[in-house]
Amino acid sequence: MPAATALMSRIPWARAWVVANWLFRQGRNRLEQNLTSSERRELWDLLRISGGRRANLSSRQQKRFIALARQGLTGRKAA
């Protein structure tokens, strides 16, 4: 999965965090359409744990957070 890793590294952390916050505050319909209930719960947990700071999440959690935020916004799963 080198291509997926390269794609993840191109998305700035702050942008993913802002997108996730927007989804939970104003984009509920989009979030419900694009993520399962367990994915929404996972995204919320990662958002809460991070507190907006990338360093509060492990590398694996950061990648998952970005993937879930992207999927919640666009409806497309990471390759």
- Mean pLDDT throughout 46-67? 93
Assess contact for 77 and 27: CB atoms under 8 A: no
Where helices occur in 1-79 by DSSP H, the ranges are: 2-10, 13-25, 28-34, 37-50, 59-74
Q: Residue 2's pLDDT is what?
A: 46
- Tell me how far apart the alpha carbons of residues 11 and 36 are, in angstroms, rounded to a whole number: 23
**Domain range annotation of the chain:** 2-74
- Tell me how far apart the alpha carbons of residues 50 and 36 are, in angstroms, rounded to a whole number: 21
Q: Residue 7's pLDDT is what?
A: 47
pTM: 0.73
> What is the per-residue pLDDT across 1-12, written as a single tens digit (0 to 9) for each?
445 445 455 668
